[in-house]
Amino acid sequence: MTINNEQGVGFEEITVGTTAVGVTMPVGRTPVRATFTLATAQIRFTYHGTAPTAAIGHLMDVGDALTLEGATNISNFRAIRSGSTSGVLSVTLETL
Protein backbone atom coordinates (compact mmCIF):
# COMPACT_ATOMS: atom_id res chain seq x y z
CA MET A 1 0.00 0.00 0.00
CA THR A 2 1.26 3.47 -0.90
CA ILE A 3 -0.06 6.65 0.68
CA ASN A 4 0.68 10.01 -0.89
CA ASN A 5 1.20 12.40 2.03
CA GLU A 6 0.85 15.45 -0.21
CA GLN A 7 -2.89 14.91 -0.41
CA GLY A 8 -5.30 15.44 2.46
CA VAL A 9 -6.87 12.30 3.81
CA GLY A 10 -10.23 11.96 5.55
CA PHE A 11 -11.91 8.94 7.09
CA GLU A 12 -15.45 7.98 8.03
CA GLU A 13 -17.48 4.90 8.81
CA ILE A 14 -20.90 4.65 7.20
CA THR A 15 -23.65 2.33 8.44
CA VAL A 16 -25.47 1.04 5.37
CA GLY A 17 -29.09 0.32 6.23
CA THR A 18 -32.46 0.24 4.50
CA THR A 19 -32.12 3.74 3.02
CA ALA A 20 -29.44 4.45 0.40
CA VAL A 21 -26.57 6.50 1.83
CA GLY A 22 -23.50 8.19 0.39
CA VAL A 23 -20.18 9.69 1.38
CA THR A 24 -19.86 12.92 3.36
CA MET A 25 -18.05 15.18 0.92
CA PRO A 26 -15.40 17.48 2.42
CA VAL A 27 -16.17 21.21 2.33
CA GLY A 28 -13.75 23.24 0.24
CA ARG A 29 -11.70 20.23 -0.87
CA THR A 30 -12.09 18.09 -3.97
CA PRO A 31 -11.91 14.32 -3.44
CA VAL A 32 -9.82 12.55 -6.06
CA ARG A 33 -10.00 9.01 -4.69
CA ALA A 34 -12.14 7.09 -2.22
CA THR A 35 -11.29 3.66 -0.86
CA PHE A 36 -14.11 1.61 0.68
CA THR A 37 -13.90 -1.62 2.69
CA LEU A 38 -16.97 -3.48 3.90
CA ALA A 39 -17.61 -5.17 7.25
CA THR A 40 -20.62 -6.87 8.85
CA ALA A 41 -23.00 -7.60 5.93
CA GLN A 42 -23.38 -7.59 2.13
CA ILE A 43 -24.53 -4.38 0.42
CA ARG A 44 -25.38 -3.10 -3.07
CA PHE A 45 -23.98 0.11 -4.50
CA THR A 46 -24.10 2.42 -7.51
CA TYR A 47 -22.05 5.45 -8.49
CA HIS A 48 -23.85 6.75 -11.57
CA GLY A 49 -26.43 8.96 -9.84
CA THR A 50 -29.31 6.47 -9.37
CA ALA A 51 -29.82 4.96 -5.92
CA PRO A 52 -29.47 1.19 -5.54
CA THR A 53 -32.14 -1.05 -4.04
CA ALA A 54 -31.83 -4.25 -2.04
CA ALA A 55 -32.06 -6.12 -5.38
CA ILE A 56 -30.40 -3.71 -7.86
CA GLY A 57 -26.81 -2.46 -7.93
CA HIS A 58 -23.31 -3.89 -7.69
CA LEU A 59 -22.92 -6.45 -4.90
CA MET A 60 -20.19 -5.92 -2.32
CA ASP A 61 -19.38 -8.73 0.12
CA VAL A 62 -17.84 -8.48 3.57
CA GLY A 63 -14.09 -8.01 3.21
CA ASP A 64 -14.32 -6.55 -0.30
CA ALA A 65 -12.53 -3.31 -1.15
CA LEU A 66 -13.53 -0.74 -3.77
CA THR A 67 -11.60 2.28 -5.04
CA LEU A 68 -13.41 5.08 -6.86
CA GLU A 69 -11.62 7.93 -8.60
CA GLY A 70 -13.08 11.31 -9.50
CA ALA A 71 -15.24 13.72 -7.52
CA THR A 72 -18.39 12.94 -9.54
CA ASN A 73 -18.15 9.19 -9.00
CA ILE A 74 -17.48 9.70 -5.30
CA SER A 75 -20.35 12.16 -4.78
CA ASN A 76 -22.73 9.90 -6.75
CA PHE A 77 -21.82 6.81 -4.68
CA ARG A 78 -24.84 5.33 -2.87
CA ALA A 79 -25.13 2.08 -0.93
CA ILE A 80 -27.96 0.09 0.65
CA ARG A 81 -27.99 -3.19 2.54
CA SER A 82 -29.05 -6.23 0.53
CA GLY A 83 -30.31 -8.39 3.40
CA SER A 84 -31.63 -8.01 6.93
CA THR A 85 -28.34 -6.81 8.49
CA SER A 86 -26.72 -3.40 7.99
CA GLY A 87 -23.20 -3.25 6.58
CA VAL A 88 -20.46 -0.91 7.76
CA LEU A 89 -18.28 0.82 5.18
CA SER A 90 -14.92 2.27 6.15
CA VAL A 91 -14.15 5.10 3.74
CA THR A 92 -10.86 6.91 3.22
CA LEU A 93 -11.00 10.03 1.03
CA GLU A 94 -7.99 11.58 -0.63
CA THR A 95 -8.45 15.23 -1.53
CA LEU A 96 -6.54 17.90 -3.42
pLDDT by residue for the chain (96 residues), tens only, comes to 555 555 678 999 999 999 999 999 888 888 999 999 999 999 999 999 999 999 999 999 999 999 999 999 999 999 999 999 999 999 999 987
Fold for 8-95, please state it: Jelly Rolls (2.60.120)
pTM > 0.85: yes or no: yes
At residue 5, the pLDDT reads: 52
Domains of the chain, residue spans: 8-95
- Note the pLDDT of residue 25: 87
User: Which DSSP letter does residue 12 get?
Assistant: E
Helices in the chain by DSSP H: which ranges?
A: 71-76
Of the candidates 92, 83, 82, the residue with the CA atom closest to the CA atom of residue 13 = 92
